[in-house]
Amino acid sequence: MSVHVHKVMAMDWPTRIRTEREARDWDKHTMARRLREAAGDEPLPDHTSLVRYIRRWESGDVTTMTERYRLLFGRIFSRDSRMLFHDHENNREEGHHRPPREEDDPTKRRDALKLGLAATIGQVLSEAADEALEFTRRANTSAVGRGTLDHLESVIRDIAGSYSRRTPADLFTVARLYRRKVDQLLAGPHTLKEQRELFVHAGLLSETLAWLAHDLGDPLTGEAYAIDCFEHADQAGHDELCGWATDAMASIALHADHPARAVAAASRGLTRVPADHPLAVRLQAQASRGYARLGDRDAFDDSYQQADRLWNALPSRTPARPDGIDTGPLATYAMTTYTASSYIWLGDYEQARLHAERAVAAHETTPPAKRSLSREAIAQLDLGIAMAFLGSAEDAVALGLRALATPRLVPSVRARATDLNTALTEQHPGTSSAAEFQTALAGIRVGTAP
């Protein structure tokens, strides 16, 4: 055995592990990292806690070390742990032939055992106190903070407020950037309270991305984001946001010609939203237009009547969405625009005209900064389709041209304009009115004003 090893073995074990560490020119942080490497896949406390343990072990304040750590120290020092910690248990003497001692008395042995257990339990309690302190520290450890959450809320409100003023492509880029940022924050340290808020922000951004993908003509991406919104809202226990997710799902499914899926999505949302909330009106209206698209007049009538009862029972003051948008007008748009579309699909053009006129009036009385330009254009086109079937081609074309002039000419608007063109061609073949609108429609591109 080398002189160094002889000298080290002559020391007590706390001094021994400190000497071995210093002989390798390791600081306590390096020692902690070496212990973690030696443990492999075996879980160890975090780095800060390990450094604290090493400091206490080397100081001699700790009288015991678990076998797990003794083996790890032996591994990183390339020493037999039994030699490294041979005096660990108070240097017990070995051998069977020795003179009797006072300690051999059974009563003395029981007393010594009690003292030993007391010392062990005391150490365990001391380490447990350290662990509890670490648990508390972690509960408050966060890379998020109130400022970050406030910033996210401000961004989400800004996106919602500028939805109709900025192009879908521009907004999609911004919303996607912040959605990724929220995902990064969720992957890092944060408190449980912050986690719920982050989940809600993630859901709101995904809902916005769902609508933007829909506006950009990509129902598959839109549905994926709507599902993501629902999942995060559900995890956060935010029933209202779950409802808004299903509202997006229903619209996307309907415009992708999947009316049965639209009805299912709306029905799912209705289970999460109270009946006195404007969103319940909107979801019931979503279900009714899904039934209309399926050609089920009885189911439509029943669903529409339920929506109408809920709408008439709404309080005069309606709540805002989580992003600050007033929910009252959203219920009104659904009960007018959605219903106009429904009656067109059912072939009841007089009722379609009545509800489309109400829809156009509702949009025109909304302050410009809060208008939904694509919904307004669809309301104008629905009214134009009704007028075309009721015999007024000139009025139908005038409404259609107004709709095509919208700065938000998204695919859903273009699709409804195509329906108007078909109605004019079928109901007024060979007329100058039909030709005029057909020429105007052929000359526009989605995403641009004519």
> Domain limits of the chain?
3-93+105-139, 347-450
Q: Are 387 and 396 in contact (CB under 8 A)?
A: yes
**Which CA distances in Å does 425 have to 94, 418, 421, 442?**
107, 10, 6, 14
Which of the 8 DSSP states describes residue 102? G
CA triple 397-398-403, angle to 5 deg: 95
Compute the Cα dihedral for 291, 293, 298, 301 and give only its sign.
positive
Q: Is 338 exposed, middle or buried (0-12, 13-18, 19+ CB in 10 A)?
A: buried
Give me the residue label for tokens 């009036």: 361
d(C-alpha 331, C-alpha 265), whole Å: 17
**Angle, vertex CA 352, rays to CA 350 and CA 357, nearest 5:** 100
Measured CA to CA, the distance from residue 246 to residue 301 in angstroms comes to 22
For the chain, the first-to-last Cα distance in angstroms comes to 93
Contact (Cβ atoms closer than 8 angstroms) between residue 334 and residue 286: yes
Give CA–CA dist 5/234, Å, rounded: 62
What pLDDT does residue 129 have? 58
* 14 close to 57: Cβ distance less than 8 angstroms: yes
Task: Determine contact, residues 353/347, Cβ cutoff 8 Å.
Answer: no
Instruction: Return the H-helix or E-strand segment holding 27.
Output: none
Mark residue 40 as left, alpha or beta (left: phi above 0; alpha: psi -120 to 50; beta: remaining): left
Distances (CA, A) of 137 to 123, 140, 423: 21, 5, 68
Q: Residue ranges of the chain with pLDDT lower than 50?
A: 1-3, 5-6, 8, 90-104, 447-450
- Cα distances from 152 to residues 177, 191, 248, in angstroms, run 11, 16, 22
Whether the model clears a pTM of 0.85, i.e. scores above it, the answer is no
pLDDT at 370: 75
Question: How many other C-beta atoms are found inside a 10 Å radius of the C-beta of residue 405?
Answer: 14
Closest CA to 214 of 449, 372, 437: 372
Q: How far apart are alpha carbons 329 and 358 in whole angstroms?
A: 12
The helix/strand/coil state of 326 is strand
CA distance 198 to 420: 44
Burial of 398 (C-beta count, 10 Å sphere; 0-12/13-18/19+): middle
Length of the chain: 450
H or E element that contains 316 = none
